[in-house]
A and B are shown apart, each in its own frame.
Chain A
């Protein structure tokens, strides 16, 4: 779902293709509780636009308020060992894969390395601390990076393992204006996680 390569120069070409394809079913969610996959629920304070699950990237939901280039909130529900959060049609391509025995910093590296493999530039974890994910012991992390075009990004997220499976919530937005614009809302969402 992450797309870090958007440049205006290629944009007309891309939208021409999208214009031809049928419109994706984007639905309104919130304000209020939203169930993510089969494992957990969050609660929003505002109306978000929600894209359907993408089995190819093991993404349970992707949500945005202003458009995914301007803010993206992505959810993974119970990633299994050996799975990845990157889609590639190239079966021979080497990509980061989740393992159940990863340490906290390895889990965050796994997420950020996966984003880097999709074009996130200069991805860097800037904070990592323990934080509950519902009743699970989880970790909260912040990061910075940039679209390849040079537009700088800030992000935050939360991860936790339930048994051998991994839940991920990750948010990113341009550091200029948009991250700050939605930060309180996203902090509220990250604090609202409850297991189903």
Chain B
């Protein structure tokens, strides 16, 4: 619209402008070829990397006082120790591992050494080796300074796409400008895949050097692919492990095969399971509960059945499987839920809520007396239950 009032000469200055713009953008093109970071090194404040660290240091401070960090000392000590095993003593001090209470399979690495391990990952790892592989992969991102490379790539890309999008916009071709940006973004993702591949390879080397069982690297991804195939989300079935760092950099068959091939060339080794289970077991019920807030019943069932096969913590697991059926409400789920609450009740580690839910399920099935017995057991097991008054009203509807 504005162009209508421009003199005809407009075309000429526009070309000149684009030419000049091209040269300014090229001038500010920065190198994405950066060497690995040294141990215990920090960037100069006057650099782009220094700025990125400054901001991520502040984000880290916020994270430290946030509501989503798991502060349990035993669990934190354990995960940090595994991280140090993988990084080696020199880089150990450079990483600070935070356990973040989020139900997705995810880990992330900030350029300043702030590593996040999400509880959805700890819930799904089968042993210390699988955890160690992911930590090694993330450490490789840090050591290779992938964030800095990616930032510089983004900067160069946006400078380049500026020429195109502004040029196209000024010429009145809005859609073409948008397409230009999409193409630039696509190239950014391509770069990230290279970084993922590099981290796969280096992470594997770190984790093998630390003495972990090589086959467990690929097994982590194999499990995720199998779980995603059972997901209730159509899109997740299509693209593995959505909402994780691995969403933008999908776990491709090619990546899994790469890790399998590397492992095949090495002695098998024995995965370390005992210590891992001992330290994660106290959190199992909490993490499963959080997983269920995602309402991905297919994934949750696959996960729970896998854990039941392993044979530990069966009271917690049967209770949890009953909870999945209760919430899913497919045909026959009421019966399946009731059966699992009853199975769970045979195990010492079933949580008190198992009896409340069993009571509700029995009442739904018309078995009022049995329901009352279950509710009464619940109040015995949890004298300070938050819903005590409600349950008492069930036991004594007349309020005597």
Contact = CB atoms under 8 A, between A and B. Distances in A.
A125 B382 CA distance: 14
A95 interface: yes
Contact of B233 (A92, A122, A128): A92
B389 A7 contact: no
Interface in B371-400: 386-387, 389-390, 393
A9 interface: yes
B328 to A, nearest CB: 11
Among B67, B68, B232, max chain A CB count under 10 A is at: B67
Interface string A138-155: 010010011111111000
Given A105-B360, A117-B293, A149 B390 contact: no
Interface in B212-248: 232-235
Given A92-B235, A94-B295, A95-B295, A130 B393 contact: yes
Nearest to A104: B390
Contact of A130 (B234, B360, B389): B389
Contacts of A145: 67
B66 interface: yes
Interface of B: 58-59, 62, 65-68, 101, 232-235, 293-296, 326, 329, 356, 360, 364, 386-387, 389-390, 393
Given A9-B62, A128-B386, A149-B67, A99 B293 contact: no
Contacts of A116: 293
22 contacts: A94-B294, A94-B295, A96-B295, A105-B356, A105-B387, A105-B390, A113-B293, A113-B295, A117-B294, A122-B67, A125-B386, A127-B386, A129-B389, A129-B393, A130-B393, A145-B67, A146-B67, A148-B66, A149-B67, A150-B62, A150-B65, A151-B67
Contacts of B234: 92
Given A96-B295, A125-B387, A150-B62, 4 more contacts: A9-B58, A105-B390, A122-B101, A126-B386
A103 interface: yes
What 5 pairs between A and B have smallest CB-CB spacing? A146-B67, A121-B67, A129-B389, A128-B387, A94-B295
A117 B387 CA distance: 23
Interface string A103-132: 111100000010011000110011111100
Contacts of A92: 233-235
Contact residues of A: prevailing secondary structure: mixed
A7 B232 CA distance: 32
Contact of A121 (B68, B326, B364, B390): B68
Given A9-B59, A122-B67, A152-B67, A128 B329 contact: no
Nearest to A103: B360
B197 to A, nearest CB: 28
Given A127-B386, A130-B389, A94 B66 contact: no
Contact of A99 (B235, B294, B329, B387): B329
Contacts of A117: 293-294
A94 B243 CA distance: 13
A53 B331 CA distance: 35
Interface in A70-85: none
Contact of B67 (A94, A99, A148): A148
A146 B68 CA distance: 9
Contacts of A96: 293, 295
